[in-house]
Structure 1
Amino acid sequence: MTTKPPGVYVTEKSSGVRMIVGVGTSTPAFLGYTTTPTDTPTETGTPPFTPDERKIPQPIRGWQEFADRYSIAALGKELAALLKKETQAAGDLKRIQVLQRCFILAEAVYGFFANGGTSCYVVGFLNPDAPVAESGLGGDAEARTGLGGLETVPEVTMVAVPSLWDMTVAATDTKEPPDPNLPNGKSLIGKVVAHCTAQRNRLAVVDAPPKLLVEPLKAFVGDSSDSDDAAFTALYYPWVKVPGVDGVPRTVPPSGHLAGVWARTDAERGVFKAPANQNLRGVLDLPVLLSDDQNGELNDRGVNCLRVFPGRGLLVWGARTRSSSRDWRYLNVRRLVSFLSDSIRQSSTWAVFEP
């Protein structure tokens, strides 16, 4: 020991008190179609992901990073060139559909960051011309593909599949894209919800089928349920019209924008605040305008509506799960309990094997 002169010496020791630290609540995972451009672009910045890298969950911390990693600029140029052709062959029409399917994922990620999100994960499916089976969406936990790959990413608290309705049918060589297969879509939604229910710390952000009016939508969703799966499901309607990341306006599912609204609400107020009465950023218009009566009917069935109000713009006008249970009817309650449960679990692992 070093000999010290007489005096008072202070030695700091840990008190042994351990704190419960809150986990993050604002990180979504997006699953959707992705492809590489026909012509390999010149690398000007961050190199794009390889096909093998695109199949596993990749962290993305900004729109520009996503655009670079998934070759959005090159895909946009290819799509624009095909659309400018005076006559389009069958192969051109199919390639146009493939590229448009890839931009659905891009619009969701852009909408997330535009509405206040800071980081997300992306899981790609590499064959946009082919449908995705339920087993394909489920993926493989060991290979880290599909939903199985997200089991190794505990920070994910929302799961959205903006390409889900495209995944129900194959791309065609016609000018108009094929209508989605609703039964197949229901089975894919069930797979996503089952994943979230099993993980317990994340909710499924589900998009209604495209071009569906109120009465057909009511028949499609049915009544709300008191099942465990329904408590981990949030369904939004209708789709939204956006200016397009490549300058081409398109109508897209709102799940990416809503994930950003959830993240913004968490940052500004907290996970206990219902993510509603919030404006939608990066949206031009809604293709379906709802009345108060229609909103009320859908709200009773656990469908969260997007509305236009004079002088207030586009607002999220609902914050319910699909559950009819009194305990789990509201999104903020379900998300708060998941946040508390996950925080306590992660902050108390030190106690394992202690006497």
Structure 2
Amino acid sequence: MADAGWMITDVGTSTAAFVAPSAGDTAQPRRVGSWGEFTELYAPQKQRAEHAGANLAEAVHGYFANGGSTCYVVGTAGDDLKAYTVALAALEAVWDVHIVVLPDLWRSEADAPAIAKAAAGHCAQAKNRMALLHTGQDVSASDAVKVPALFGLDEDEAAFTTVYYPWLKVPGIGGAERVVPPSGHVAGAWARNDAERGVFKAPANQGIRGAVDIAMPLTDADNAPLNEAGVNCLRVLPGRGLLVWGARTLSVSRDWRYVHVRRLLNFLSESIRTSTTWAAFEPNDATVQTSLRSSITSFLTDQWRQGALLGRTPNEAFYVICDQTNNPPESIKAGKIVMGIGVAPVRPAEFVHFTVAQTTGSAQ
């Protein structure tokens, strides 16, 4: 058994970052712990006056109403790609972000695809967060199918990106009904799903709170091609109310097609990475490799017991390789220790392999 100080500690999974034109400090991520705190910091009515039609306040309200507990707000200096690029760069240093939301993505339709790609690239590079995006407001179901292609994402970016449709009708925080993008509400539903069921459960079939209807009613015939294109639908079903009715990324890969699989791997790899930094101060030898294998095995066994991984036994659910086979002499001389890990997520799939590496003090 690994030393108690070397055990793997769970990282968070559902802190959202809202990137949008705001009345606050531009490009300075600010941590917000409640809707009340947001109103004190940003004065939603003042913000709407300064940024006509802005959706930030409604998105943050929807996040907290649906189960979100903490978020960051990052202001942009405008609606163009350059402004968003600066804000996303500022977000790189904030390690505890897991969901990136762009409430006003479509205020500049010309820049929206490039902004979406920048957000997807940010998430793919960070590898611990996902871009939770949406279509434009007045988009038909047949046109919504085409939205993912507009973003021009490569496969890695697509695996860290989701799109939701259609927009929501909400009572409005100012008392007047509004139509708003669904991404803030869905981010809250993800957080609620994580807390109640676990990040390894698909965040679908979840009720949406704080909304009265969807702006574009959908039929089963509408839903099928949208689902195939990776666009997640919100549906109003008889006797069930308003639900999130999809949990797909934009990836075409069988490994990364499902939101909960991508987010589970984000959680596992980030938990392991942050809890094994101690290895950077140790020689890359058999003793350290054994300790790492033991720590990771213990952590993944706990995840298997909670139902996050398939298999009748831990041996069927995961594997951990950290020995001379993936740490040859040349790797050790380069000051690198590699942990190869494979897991069987709860879905119809084979093992998904990922690698965690630490830089050690043994570089020559």
CA offset at residue 72 of structure 1? Answer: 2.3
Residue 217 to residue 147, structure 1, CA distance change in 2 (3 Å): same
Equivalent in the alignment of 1:122:
73
The correspondence of residues 7-22 of structure 1 with structure 2, limited to 5 A, is 18-22=6-10
CA distance in 1, matches of 2:238, 2:97: 36
Residues in 1 aligned to 2:225 and 2:68: alpha-carbon distance in whole angstroms? 31
Task: Please give the root-mean-square deviation of Cα atoms over the aligned residues, in Å.
Answer: 2.0
Q: Which residue of 1 aligns with 2:199?
A: 271
Match of 1:354 among 261, 267, 282: 282
Residue 101 of structure 2 corresponds to residue 154 of structure 1: no
Q: Which amino acid aligns with 2:40?
A: D
Query: Are positions 1:34 and 2:12 aligned together?
Result: no
What amino acid is the match of 1:62? S
- Picking from 258, 265, 284, the partner of 1:337 is 265
Q: Which runs of 4+ in 1 moved over 6 A?
A: 223-226
- Separation in 2, partners of 1:315, 1:18: 41
Listed as ranges, the matches of 1:304-343 within 5 Å are 304-343=232-271
1:138 aligns with 2:85: yes
TM-fit CA distance, 1:218: 2.1
* Alpha-carbon contact 1:226-1:325 (below 8 Å) kept: no
- SS of the equivalent of 1:248 reads coil
Query: What amino acid is aligned across from residue 198 of structure 1 in structure 2?
Result: Q
Query: Higher Cα Rg: structure 1 or 2?
Result: 1
Alpha-carbon deviation of 1:164?
Answer: 1.2
For residues 276 and 343 of structure 1, do their structure 2 counterparts lie closer, same or farther at Cα, with a shift above 3 Å needed?
A: same
Q: What are the equivalent positions in structure 2 for 1:26-105 lying under 5 Å apart? A: 26-35=14-23, 51=24, 53-74=25-46, 98-101=51-54, 104-105=55-56
The match for 2:125 is 198
The one-character-per-residue Cα deviations of 1:151-205 (angstroms, maximum 9, x if unpaired) are 1111000101101111x1xxxxxxxxxxxx2x42111101110100110110000
Q: For residues 209 and 100 of structure 1, what CA distance do their matches in structure 2 show?
A: 14
Partner of 1:239: 167
Residue pair 1:19, 1:347 contacting (<8 A) in 2 also: yes
Matched, 1:260 2:188: yes
How many angstroms apart in 2 are the aligned matches of 1:184 and 1:15?
51
Which residue type is aligned with residue 121 of structure 2? Answer: A
User: What amino acid sits opposite 2:274 in the alignment?
Assistant: Q
Residue by residue, what CA displacement relative to the aligned partner does 1:103-149 show, whole Å, maximum 9, x if unpaired? x100000000000010000011245xxx32x222110xxxxxx0011
Give yes or no for contact 1:225–1:324 (8 Å, CA) kept in 2: no
String of CA shifts for 1:1-30, please: whole Å, max 9, x gaps: xxxxxxxxxxxxx95552100100010100
Give the conservation status (yes or no) of the 8 Å contact 1:28–1:158: yes
Superposed CA offset, 1:71-104 (max 9, x none): 225557xx6xxxxxxxxxxxxxxx6xx3332xx1
Identity of aligned residues (%): 48
Distance 1:225 1:164 in 2: 16
CA distance in 1 between partners of 2:159 and 2:3 (Å) = 40
- Amino acid corresponding to residue 210 of structure 1 in structure 2: Q
Gaps (5+ residues) in structure 2? 284-364
CA–CA separation in structure 2 for the residues paired with 1:225 and 1:137: 17
CA distance in 2, matches of 1:238, 1:21: 37
Larger relative strand fraction: 2
CA distance in 2, matches of 1:231, 1:265: 20
Q: CA deviation at 1:33?
A: 1.7
Greater relative contact order (CA < 8 Å, ≥ 6 in sequence): 1
CA offset at residue 214 of structure 1?
A: 1.1
Shift of 1:215: 1.4
Q: 1:67 to 1:17 in 2, by over 3 A?
A: closer
- From 220, 223, 244, give the equivalent of 2:147: 220
SS in 1 for 2:193: helix
Q: Give the aligned residue type for 1:163.
A: D
Unaligned runs of 5+ in 1: 1-13, 36-50, 80-94, 140-145, 169-180
1:249 CA displacement: 1.0
CA contact (8 A) 2:145 2:231 kept: no
Whether 1:249 and 2:196 are equivalent positions in the alignment is no
Q: Give, in angstroms, the shift of residue 353 of structure 1.
A: 2.3
Alignment partner, residue 7 of structure 1? none
Q: Which moved more, 1:213-222 or 1:26-35?
A: 213-222
Which of 101, 104, 111 is the aligned partner of 1:163? 104
Q: Is the 8 A contact 2:144 2:165 kept in 1?
A: no
For the residue of structure 1 that corresponds to 2:157, the secondary structure is helix
Paired with 1:347 and 1:321, the residues of 2 have a C-alpha distance of 28
> Which amino acid in structure 1 is aligned with residue 27 of structure 2?
K
